[in-house]
Structure 1
Amino acid sequence: MSGLCGRNCNSCIFKEYFCEGCSLCEVCMCDKNCRDCFALCPERPAGIAYLMSVGGPEIESKGNKKIHLPAHIPILPDVFKEKPRGDIMPVIGLHAGSMFSRNGEKINPKYLNNGYVKALNIAEGTEAVLEFYVKDRTLEGFWDNRKNNYKDLKRMNIKAIISPNFSVYEDAPRLVHLYNIKRTTIVYNEMLEAGLNAIPDVSWYSLKDLDKWIREIKRNKVKMIAFSFQVVDVRLKASNIWKNYLTGFRYLCKNIDPEIEILIIGITSSRRVKEIHAVAFGHRIIVLNQSAFVQSRRGMLFEGRNKNTEFTKDDIFHRNIMYFNKLYEDMNLKHNLGGEKNA
């Protein structure tokens, strides 16, 4: 049997040790211009060496601790003109794309020198979760300078950090998947070693990837994980469809301890959050998104789904926060306390 790459899968050494079968990569359309190609593949000189330079395709995920987080964590992408209420927003999401320089090599001075509370003009005592669902350019810069960034992140006193999600695109060669999944685990483990409260991002392409994660989560008693339903910078790249993500998520939830809490990123639709709960096998779900902020700037009040001209944008933001706080917590109560348990 020949793969899209033209190699004989039955005798190919890359298939046995690295490839694990065809992804939807575009190697069949390759013009062999390796100098200008971003991808790691068997055709590229030193492609395998890149993967081996990070320890090969096998992953290791150290155990972390459970951190109390509310069911709804609003991501705040921009500074507030008027300080919002802290009582309804005890924990916020920090977007690494805003907090770091564009090339990802360092934290922006206004965050590093002033702290995120002053940088965003939010209430004193507000805690934060940092997420790295950002463009590849930022991730690569962070990777190159990560040891220095760990030291600076330690100064920031952030409650929890979701490990970077190095891109696993469907149309990339399998070597890219393995390389980037491995880097995700490396950064997660290094963050723990640096004294940061890290949460691993479960990045994956195939069930084999999820099986590796399940093995490590069980073996090392990981208490909290993150799962992304979003794709960043999808120009000229294919994205997984919703059902594919949901099927993978269900498979993961079914095969790990139900006490593990899962942070969900990339979902803005309440209907889809309900679908996630329906396949989560009772896991507590924590939702991070920008919906409350973004919709308030459009004058959109989520309760009733109406554009509102009576309230200020800040008033709408507060009302949206309270709406999502209750909605997501009620979903957890329903599914964790005798609700649907996924047959």
Structure 2
Amino acid sequence: MTPISLPTPTVGVPLPGRGCDCNACAFYAGADGRGGPATVEALCSGTNSDCRFCGCAASEADAPQNACVTRKCPIRCGSRTDIAQWMADVGGTLQFDDISIDGELPDGLPSFIPMTDGSSVTRLDASLNWPAYGVGLRRVYSPETHTLYPRFTEQTARQALDLKPDQQAVLVGYGEDPLVEAFWTNRQRDGLVERIAAQEWDLVLSCNYSIYGDWPRTEHLLNMRRSLLLAQEFAEAGVPVVPNLYWFRLEDLERYLAWIEDAPPPAIAVNVQTVRDNNTWDTWERPGLHWLAANLPTDMPVILTGLSRANRITEMVQLFGTRLTLVSQNAHQYALHGAIMTPNGREDVHARTEDAFASTVQYMASLLPPR
């Protein structure tokens, strides 16, 4: 399908082209970097060939005003009737130049951080005295009510988890798309960032906004900026925070690198827990991680969430060495079924939950270089 050329509406902010039309897009850079007639910010080399949305009804030249039913369509593209509002919502730009995430990682983080369900860790930690525990966003912010659970608003995170004074609490701000979208939409109205800051987490891994291969580039660009903006809001609230990086093309990684070199965050995080099949890992995630390892500043810490296969962990250790931190929920998930992780994979040994948990935590930590 050939995109329909339509003029870019003048609304005070740069807009993507309707119907993924590069000539009408404010962000088109083109292969030569010069862009097209509507270019304002040259950020994108062109349309996503796998996009399923650039030919929707709203992109047609004679589409009625109500063709884009924005309440039902979750995709942000140039054909949306409210795309100007989304552009204004991210500050009227898709660049990274105005974003700065200041702060430091807490001292004493272990190379492996197990995730739990947000309840007391006393039983799981009985034989471990592990330095840090992670909790996923859905354990703190309800997917059903889109409110913070009282358990985490009526006490600090450390108190909610029954941590010892020398143990650290890490909020892993990842979740399914409806959850993180609700967090973005409600964060200012409900003061979510400030209220999470009041919970005194030792570290927050900021939300990641998804980038799927069959989505339009507008959605990619918006979500990359939103991920960094949210991390900046946490940093401004005094929270030790690490931004999450998602990418789709080499140009995305290059933009991240330029930003990191100009305004380095305390670390970068990458959520790989959604990359389960080998094809996606080999063609997308793995090449990107290799590129980051080769190009990031050598002192930039890297936090990977969701890596559980021993061969993948070994490869990432070879790439990042002692600057790698791994966060995973596998130890807890396996332990609930009396199973453990071993060099041969999962083994159902029918162990007590706390014993199975300790075994997997120690095994996964053994795959990482000591600090």
Q: Distance in 2 between matches of 1:170 and 1:184?
A: 18
Runs of 4+ more than 4 Å apart: 1-9, 120-125
Q: Distance in 1 between matches of 2:102 and 2:342?
A: 39
Q: Distance in 1 between matches of 2:175 and 2:272?
A: 13
240-249 vs 186-195, which moves further:
240-249
Q: Match of 2:368, SS?
A: helix
What are the ranges of 5 or more consecutive residues in structure 2 without an aligned counterpart?
5-17, 29-34, 59-66
Q: Specify the alignment match of 1:131 in structure 2.
A: 172
Q: Which amino acid aligns with 1:13?
A: C
Q: Specify the alignment match of 1:336 in structure 2.
A: none
* 1:29-108 alignment, distance < 5 Å: 29-32=55-58, 33-35=67-69, 36-55=72-91, 56-59=93-96, 60-68=99-107, 69-77=109-117, 79=119, 83-85=123-125, 87-102=128-143, 105-108=146-149
Assess, with a 3 A threshold, how the Cα gap between structure 1 residues 312 and 122 changes in structure 2: closer, same or farther.
farther
Deviation at 1:146, TM superposition (A): 2.2
Q: CA RMSD in A?
A: 3.0
TM-score by length of 1: 0.84
Given the alignment of the two structures, is residue 113 of structure 1 paired with residue 161 of structure 2, yes or no?
Answer: no
Q: Distance in 2 between matches of 1:304 and 1:198?
A: 33
Q: Distance in 1 between matches of 2:147 and 2:166?
A: 24
Q: How many residues align?
A: 324
Q: Specify the alignment match of 1:247 in structure 2.
A: 287
Deviation at 1:164, TM superposition (A): 0.8
Deviation at 1:127, TM superposition (A): 1.2
Assess, with a 3 A threshold, how the Cα gap between structure 1 residues 239 and 319 changes in structure 2: closer, same or farther.
closer
248-257 vs 190-199, which moves further:
248-257
Percent identity between the aligned chains?
24
Q: Specify the alignment match of 1:179 in structure 2.
A: 222
What are the ranges of 5 or more consecutive residues in structure 1 without an aligned counterpart?
334-343
Q: Match of 2:303, SS?
A: strand
Maintained 8 Å contact 2:317/2:369: no
Q: Match of 1:106, SS?
A: coil
Q: Residue 237 of structure 2 is aligned with which of 172, 194, 202? A: 194
Deviation at 1:312, TM superposition (A): 1.6
Assess, with a 3 A threshold, how the Cα gap between structure 1 residues 169 and 48 changes in structure 2: closer, same or farther.
farther
Assess, with a 3 A threshold, how the Cα gap between structure 1 residues 224 and 304 changes in structure 2: closer, same or farther.
closer
Q: Distance in 1 between matches of 2:249 and 2:100?
A: 18
Deviation at 1:321, TM superposition (A): 1.6
Deviation at 1:307, TM superposition (A): 2.1
Q: By percentage of residues, which structure has more helix?
A: 1
Q: Residue 204 of structure 1 is aligned with which of 247, 259, 271? A: 247
Q: Distance in 2 between matches of 1:195 and 1:265?
A: 23
282-291 vs 104-113, which moves further:
104-113
Given the alignment of the two structures, is residue 291 of structure 1 paired with residue 317 of structure 2, yes or no?
Answer: no
